[in-house]
Structure 1
Amino acid sequence: METYTAMRHFADSWGLLAMAAFFVGAVIFTLRPGSGRTAKDAASIPLKDD
């Protein structure tokens, strides 16, 4: 039972912080300057052979 309590405390504190940091990083990565062109290029890949 002690292992469960320790893992829960870890997930409640550092796990939440890590998930929040990942989310903020993903949003910043998506909204960075120049990402629109990259997204358009990636979206057109399936249509390049047509």
Structure 2
Amino acid sequence: METYTAMRHFADSWGLLAMALFFAGVVVFTLRPGGKKSADDAASIPLKED
């Protein structure tokens, strides 16, 4: 039962911090200034006829 408690404390502190940092990184990566062209290119891939 001691392992459960240790894992729960880890998830409540460092796990939450890691998830928050990952979320912030994804938001920054998505909204970066040069991202619009690459996102538009990726969005049009299914519509291209080779």
**Shorter-chain TM-score range:** over 0.9
**Aligned-pair RMSD on alpha carbons?**
1.0
Structure 1 length-normalised TM: 0.94
User: What residue ranges of structure 2 are gaps of 5+ in the alignment?
Assistant: none
Identity %: 80
User: What residue ranges of structure 1 are gaps of 5+ in the alignment?
Assistant: none
Runs of 4+ off more than 2 Å = none
Write out per-residue CA displacement over residues 24-43 of structure 1, whole angstroms, 9 at most, x where no aligned residue.
00000000011111110001
**How many residue pairs end up in the alignment?**
50
Structure 2 length-normalised TM: 0.94
Greater relative contact order (Cα < 8 A, sep 6+): 2
